[in-house]
């Protein structure tokens, strides 16, 4: 008998048959990152269009939540790290070819930007707010001269924040379900949509709710378009991508994705918002909560499904199945 | 928005019958409802007392994850459909359905007790009005028809004693 020794990096039960390294922390952060990107984008955009007295919730109230959301998201990211004490090494270099580097530096800039932006508006929302230290009051008053610059940089950074999470996933060429360039725009549109839904949720003005219902309907429609074309792209690619798409077309993720993400998270709120724009009364909280739920489920399903998709050598297929 | 009038019950019944037929065509099985509640509550008990669920043969049968069963998705669809129908008819309001001679809290209490008895009865007879009476009746299962007659008989017999809830 001849003995043949096969050594492969795949002969590791943590790698084969399925390498699942990411739990709930990453999808939660992706959702919160997209939500913050959406809120800050709309806040800065409508500020630059001089709508602060019309769209008060969008420009003034919603940004107050962003530092909290970002903090929770970053805490989740931190919890996910295996070597938590080395997180600072991300900031010792800038690697232009790495989406993770882009993300780390964008977050580093956008966190203080969001805090300062929120600080500009906190006195408008809570008139009895007291900064306690006059130096803070003076600094904010001085920085307020540059509100326009802050708004423009927020537009830039929130765009990057919303998009880079999708680009980060799409950079994993070993995960065929993620390896599509549509994922970046999909996550950006989803983030903007959840931001609009959040503003819809907290708004107290009929006009603002109407406008953000319109914006959200448009964004949901775009998201549906991108999802359909993502699957069409997969089905027109190599057999590996076709296997990845088949997870969602008859495979284990079918029911969860098309019911919770597309059905309850996109189609149903779109229908309700269209009905609302045609005069049927529905409390705005319902489509808003559905869109937020859908955005969260999208992140969870995409992150989980991506880790289940892989390139399999022909002989491995016979071993595994 | 003004409330639109209800459909004729005959039209609603025919619509429900067509839905039942389509359920057989698309899913190969009829509608159901109490099974979904059963799976969900078993899952909740399973989270807290897994050994107890596994030791009980009735529970163990329902102990799989609720979302691996069609019924649970069907019930989610029922809730969405009901909401949409109410929204389009202007009927979506927070309200307690009751007559003029009973307080809200008493109505809620009686509704809770009645619901508990109904749930117990549904699992005792292995189905409620949609699974047993509708689907079972459609397939001419004897149990379905016995159940339906029993439901109406018991309702007629006890309606007098709880009439104050509605009149």
Q: How many domains are contained in chain A?
A: 1
Q: What would the pLDDT profile of B78-129 be if each residue is shown by its tens digit?
A: 999 999 999 988 888 888 888 898 899 999 999 999 999 998 999 888 888 8
pLDDT value of residue B158: 92
Angle between helices A268-277 and A206-235 (to 10 degrees): 140
> Does residue B109 sit at the A interface (CB-CB below 8 Å)?
no
pLDDT value of residue A321: 44
> Does residue B55 sit at the A interface (CB-CB below 8 Å)?
no
Is the model's pLDDT at B27 over the cut of 50? Answer: yes
Residue A102 within any structural domain of the chain: yes
How sure is the predictor about A17, in pLDDT bands with cuts at 50, 70 and 90? low
Q: Which residues of A touch B90 (CB under 8 A)?
A: 280-281
Residue A274 within any structural domain of the chain: yes
B103-131: b or e for each residue (b if 16 or more CB lie within 10 Å)?
A: eeeebeeeeeeeeeeeeeebbebebbbbb
Q: Which position has the higher pLDDT, A42 or A11?
A: A42
Mean of pLDDT values over A184-201: 97
Is the model's pLDDT at B72 over the cut of 80? Answer: yes
pLDDT value of residue A314: 52
> Does residue B149 sit at the A interface (CB-CB below 8 Å)?
no
Q: Which residues of B touch A271 (CB under 8 A)?
A: 84
* Three-state DSSP state, B28: coil
Highest mean pLDDT range out of A8-12, A130-134, A162-166, B36-40? Answer: A162-166
The upper half-sphere exposure of residue A128, i.e. CA atoms within 13 Å in the direction of its Cβ, equals: 0
Domain that holds residue A213: 25-320
pTM over 0.90: no
Q: What would the pLDDT profile of A146-163 be if each residue is shown by its tens digit?
A: 999 999 999 999 999 999
Cβ neighbours around A45 below 10 Å, total? 17
Which residue, A25, A29, A38, A31, is CA-closest to A293? A31
Mean of pLDDT values over B8-26: 94
Q: What is this model's ipTM?
A: 0.82
pLDDT value of residue A318: 52
Q: What would the pLDDT profile of A272-313 be if each residue is shown by its tens digit?
A: 999 988 888 888 899 999 999 999 999 999 999 998 887 765
* Three-state DSSP state, B96: coil
Q: What tokens were used for A106?
A: 């964008």
Element (H, E) at B60: helix B57-61
Q: Which position has the higher pLDDT, A17 or A247?
A: A247
CA A294 to CA B110: how far, in whole Å?
Answer: 36
CA A214 to CA A210: how far, in whole Å?
Answer: 6
Verify cis geometry, omega within 30 degrees of 0, for the bond prior to A17. yes
> Does residue B80 sit at the A interface (CB-CB below 8 Å)?
yes
Residue A53 within any structural domain of the chain: yes
The upper half-sphere exposure of residue A302, i.e. CA atoms within 13 Å in the direction of its Cβ, equals: 32
Cβ contact A281–B90 (<8 Å) = yes
Cα A12–Cα A14–Cα A16 angle in degrees, nearest 5: 65
Q: Which residues of B touch A259 (CB under 8 A)?
A: 73, 76
| Cβ-contact A179, A173 below 8 angstroms | yes
Is the model's pLDDT at A232 over the cut of 90? Answer: yes
Residue A14 within any structural domain of the chain: no
Q: Out of A62-66, A99-103, A243-247, A314-318, pick the least confident.
A: A314-318
Which residue, B152, B2, B12, B27, is CA-closest to B82? B12
Residue A11 within any structural domain of the chain: no
> Which residue of B3, B86, B87 to mutate against A (max A Cβ within 10 Å)?
B87
How sure is the predictor about A214, in pLDDT bands with cuts at 50, 70 and 90? very high
CA B133 to CA B141: how far, in whole Å?
Answer: 9
CATH of the domain at A109: 1.20.1630.10
Cβ contact A279–B73 (<8 Å) = no
What's the distance, CA A61 to chain centroid? Answer: 20
Determine the residue of chain A that is closest to B92 in CA distance.
A282
Our CA dihedral for A39, A43, A46, A48, rounded to 10 degrees, sits at: -140
Residue A129 within any structural domain of the chain: yes
| Cβ-contact A175, A18 below 8 angstroms | no
Q: Out of A310-319, B75-84, B130-139, B141-150, pick the least confident.
A: A310-319
Q: Which position has the higher pLDDT, A181 or B63?
A: A181
Domain boundaries, chain B: 1-93, 96-167
Measured between its terminal Cα atoms, the distance across chain A in Å is 27
> Does residue B27 sit at the A interface (CB-CB below 8 Å)?
no
| Cβ-contact B63, B46 below 8 angstroms | yes
Q: What tokens were used for A50?
A: 């001089």
Cα A199–Cα A202–Cα A207 angle in degrees, nearest 5: 70
Residue A2 within any structural domain of the chain: no
How does the average pLDDT of chain A come out, rounded?
90
Percentage of residues in chain A with pLDDT exceeding 90? 72
Task: For chain A, give the secondary structure using H, E and C.
Answer: CCCCCCCCCCCCCCCCCCCCCCCCHHHHHHHHHHHHHHHHHHHHHHHHCCCCCCCHHHHHHHHHHHHHHHHHHHHHHHHHCCCHHHHHHHHHCCCCCCHHHHHHHHHHHHHHHHHHHHHHHHHHHCCCCCCCCHHHHHHHHHHHHHHHHHHHHHHHHHHHHHHHHHHHHHCCCCCCCCCCCCHHHHHHHHHHHHHHHHHHHHCCCHHHHHHHHHHHHHHHHHHHHHHHHHHHHHHCCCHHHHHHHHCCCCCCCHHHHHHHHHHHHHHHHHHHHHHHHCCCCCCCHHHHHHHHHHHHHHHHHHHHHHHHCCCCCHHHHHHHC
């Amino acid at each position: 008998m001849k003995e043949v020794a096969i050594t492969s990096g795949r002969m590791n039960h943590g790698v084969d048959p399925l390498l699942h390294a990411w739990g709930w922390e990453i999808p939660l952060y992706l959702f919160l990152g997209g939500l913050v990107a959406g809120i800050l984008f709309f806040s800065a955009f409508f500020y630059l269009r001089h709508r602060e007295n019309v769209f008060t919730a969008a420009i003034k109230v919603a940004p107050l939540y962003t530092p909290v959301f970002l903090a929770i998201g970053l805490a989740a990211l931190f919890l996910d790290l295996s070597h938590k004490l080395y997180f600072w090494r991300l900031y010792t270099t800038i690697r232009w070819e790495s989406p993770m580097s882009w993300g780390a530096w964008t977050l580093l800039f956008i966190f203080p930007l969001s805090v300062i932006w929120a600080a500009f508006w906190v006195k408008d929302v809570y008139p009895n707010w007291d900064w306690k230290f006059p130096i803070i009051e003076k600094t904010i008053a001085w920085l307020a001269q540059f509100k326009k610059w802050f708004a423009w940089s927020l537009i830039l950074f929130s765009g990057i924040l919303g998009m880079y999470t999708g680009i980060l996933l799409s950079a994993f060429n070993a995960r065929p379900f993620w390896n599509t360039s549509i994922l970046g725009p999909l996550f950006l549109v989803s983030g903007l949509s959840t931001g609009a839904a959040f503003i819809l949720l907290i708004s107290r003005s009929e006009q603002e709710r109407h406008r953000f219902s319109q914006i959200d309907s448009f964004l949901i429609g775009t998201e549906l378009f991108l999802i359909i074309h993502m699957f069409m792209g997969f089905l027109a690619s190599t057999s590996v991508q076709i296997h990845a798409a088949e997870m969602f077309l008859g495979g284990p993720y079918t029911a969860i994705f098309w019911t919770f993400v597309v059905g309850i998270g996109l189609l149903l709120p779109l229908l309700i918002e269209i009905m609302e724009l045609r005069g049927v009364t529905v409390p705005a909280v319902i489509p808003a909560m559905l869109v937020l739920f859908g955005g969260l489920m999208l992140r969870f399903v995409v992150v989980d499904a991506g880790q289940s998709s892989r390139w399999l050598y022909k002989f491995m297929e016979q071993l595994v199945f | 928005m003004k409330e639109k009038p209800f459909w004729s019950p005959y039209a609603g019944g025919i619509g429900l019958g067509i839905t039942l037929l389509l359920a057989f065509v698309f899913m190969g099985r009829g509608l159901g409802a109490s099974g979904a509640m059963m799976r969900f509550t078993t899952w909740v008990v399973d989270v807290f007392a897994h050994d107890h669920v596994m030791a009980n043969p009735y529970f163990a049968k329902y102990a799989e994850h609720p979302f691996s069963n069609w019924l649970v998705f069907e019930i989610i669809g029922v809730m969405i459909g009901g909401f949409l129908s109410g929204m389009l008819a202007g009927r979506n309001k927070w309200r307690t359905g009751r007559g003029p001679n009973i307080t809200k809290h008493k109505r809620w209490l009686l509704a809770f007790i009645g619901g508990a008895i109904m749930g117990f009865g549904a699992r005792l007879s292995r189905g409620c009005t949609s699974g047993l009476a509708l689907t079972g009746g459609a397939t001419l299962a004897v149990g379905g028809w016995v159940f339906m007659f029993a439901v109406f008989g018991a309702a007629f017999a006890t309606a007098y004693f709880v009439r104050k809830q509605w009149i």
